[in-house]
């Protein structure tokens, strides 16, 4: 039996404040695959990522999002995360007073909790992972990402550099072990060293148990993270898909050739 892809997006239409932004986006991502979603600013990439995670400002007006065979449209963000969907933010938020370590342990416990526990956003009473076990998991994952131990005791994103914020996002990915992860412009604002470190972290985590959707405006992160599939988004839908060579072509020719191709096809 051929298993259906973990993530199936069907003809998705999304409106923000009454304006249609996504206009029929379809995409399938399986575990073990790396997809790049590229497109110019304002094409709707972040709108898609936010909709995937159930951001309340994004209203699905048509189409569906299936995760492991079931629609997630009725699920709150935390339920989607617990089911195994993950998103790394383009602009991570600082939480002064909450250490990286505490944040991650709380999130992991929520992720490990049985379905239905901790409804209404409450942290489930049942502890999913013992503190000692968690500390060794965290140390191991931070080692994988070549992060200093002291990082865990800092307040989440509080005073972090751009590179540190993105590394904190990837650490969340490493600890929570989702099945499908969306990285929204994880490369934006990174210098070349930080970009390399973040990419190496992502590569260390990629494998048969993880499906990745790497959203990016620029081709350069794809020099480090090798996608199996590349999709180009224009005006709220995917207008062109191909293999890794498509990213190189975009680098060379810009998005205009996709636009022109679209015009010609009409």
Chain residues that interact with Mg ion, rule: CB under 5 A: 45-46
Smallest separation (angstroms) from ligand ADP to the CB of 39? 5
Which listed residue (9, 12, 21, 205) binds ligand ADP by CB under 6 A?
21
State the SS3 of the chain. Answer: CCCCCCEEEEEEEEEECCEEEEEEEEEEECCCCEEEEECCCCCCHHHHHHHHHCCCCEEEEEEEEEECCEECCCCCHHHHHHHCEEEECCCCCCEEEEEHHHHHHHHHHHHHCCCCCCHHHCCCCCCCCCHHHHHHHHHHHHHHCCCCHHHHHCEECCCCCHHHHHHHHHHHHHHHCCCEEEEECCCCCCCHHHHHHHHHHHHHHCECCEEEEEEECCCHHHHCCCCCEEEEEECCEEEEEECHHHHHHHHHHCCHHHHHHHHHHC
Q: How many residues make contact with ligand ADP (CB under 6 A)?
A: 12
Smallest separation (angstroms) from Mg ion to the CB of 44? 9
Task: Work out what residue 3 binds among Mg ion, ligand ADP, none; the CB cut-off runs from 5 to 8 Å by kind.
Answer: none
Task: Work out what residue 41 binds among ligand ADP, Mg ion, none; the CB cut-off runs from 5 to 8 Å by kind.
Answer: ligand ADP
Smallest separation (angstroms) from Mg ion to the CB of 52? 13
Smallest separation (angstroms) from Mg ion to the CB of 260? 23
Write out the binding residues for ligand ADP, residues 46-105 only, by CB under 6 A. Answer: 46-47, 57
The answer to the question of residue 15 lying near ligand ADP (CB under 6 A) is no
Smallest separation (angstroms) from Mg ion to the CB of 222? 16
Which listed residue (17, 148, 193, 263) binds ligand ADP by CB under 6 A?
17
The answer to the question of residue 45 lying near ligand ADP (CB under 6 A) is yes
The answer to the question of residue 18 lying near ligand ADP (CB under 6 A) is no
Interface with ligand ADP (CB under 6 A): 16-17, 21, 39, 41-47, 57
């Amino acid at each position: 039996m051929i298993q259906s892809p973990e993530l199936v997006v069907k003809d998705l239409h999304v409106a923000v404040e009454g304006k249609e932004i996504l206009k029929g986006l379809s995409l399938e991502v399986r575990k073990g695959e790396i997809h790049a979603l590229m497109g110019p600013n304002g094409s709707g990439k972040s709108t898609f990522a936010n909709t995937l995670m159930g951001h309340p400002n994004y209203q699905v007006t048509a189409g569906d999002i299936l995760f492991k065979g079931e629609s997630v449209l009725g699920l709150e963000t935390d339920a989607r995360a617990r089911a195994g969907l993950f998103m790394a933010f383009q602009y991570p938020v600082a939480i002064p007073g909450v250490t990286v370590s505490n944040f991650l342990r709380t999130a992991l416990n929520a992720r490990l909790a049985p379905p239905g526990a901790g409804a209404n956003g409450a942290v489930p009473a049942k502890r999913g992972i013992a503190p000692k076990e968690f500390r060794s998991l965290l140390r191991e994952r931070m080692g994988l990402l070549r992060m200093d131990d002291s990082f865990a005791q800092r307040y989440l994103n509080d005073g972090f550099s751009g590179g540190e914020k993105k590394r904190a996002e990837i650490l969340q990915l490493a600890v929570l072990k989702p099945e499908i992860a969306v990285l929204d412009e994880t490369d934006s604002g990174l210098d070349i060293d930080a970009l390399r470190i973040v990419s190496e972290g992502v590569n260390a985590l990629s494998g048969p148990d993880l499906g990745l959707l790497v959203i990016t405006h620029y081709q350069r992160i794809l020099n480090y993270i090798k996608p199996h599939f590349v999709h180009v988004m224009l005006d709220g839908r995917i207008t062109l898909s191909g293999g890794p060579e498509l990213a190189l072509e975009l680098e060379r020719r810009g998005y205009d050739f996709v636009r022109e191709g679209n015009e010609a096809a009409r």
